[in-house]
Amino acid sequence: QVQLVESGGGLVQAGGSLRLSCAASGRSFSGYGMGWFRQTPGKEREFVAAVSWNTGSTWTADSVKGRFTISRDNAKNTVYLQMSGLKPEVTAVYYCAASRSTTRLLFTLSYDYWGQGTQVTVSS
């Protein structure tokens, strides 16, 4: 059974930091791109950040550049999202995902496996 499990979410004050983790189990994700997305009620799931498997290249949404950093530890099958300078508008459920593609990582349809999400809430 392939699983992606997010952790690290919670309630923080504006300006604070969180580190989200996504642990994969059931198989190796060697060769897979990994991404983070977020979603709020009534809105489409949107891209936050992605990282390649082989080169470590990263991509981040313009809205979070300079504040969010994505990274991965392939030996542990784990991807991270370091979030700093948090603002109330980033409040959402955050999802991690794995993709066989390394060229379309900005799009939800490119991903083959999804976690259940972890809630991030930033208070004013």
Q: What angle do CA 71, 87, 18 make, to 5 degrees?
A: 40
Contact indicator for 33, 102 with CB cutoff of 8 Å: yes
Residue whose entry in the numeric block shows the structure tokens 């991807």? 79
Q: Which residues, other chains included, contact 101 with Cβ-Cβ below 8 Å and sequence gap of 6+? A: 33, 110
Q: What is the pLDDT of residue 16?
A: 98
The tens-digit pLDDT sequence of the chain (124 residues) is: 678 999 999 999 999 999 999 999 877 777 889 999 999 999 999 999 999 987 889 999 999 999 999 999 988 889 999 999 999 999 999 999 999 887 789 999 999 999 999 999 999 9
CA dihedral 34, 46, 102, 35 (to 10 degrees): -10
Q: What is the pLDDT of residue 1?
A: 61
Q: What is the pLDDT of residue 15?
A: 97
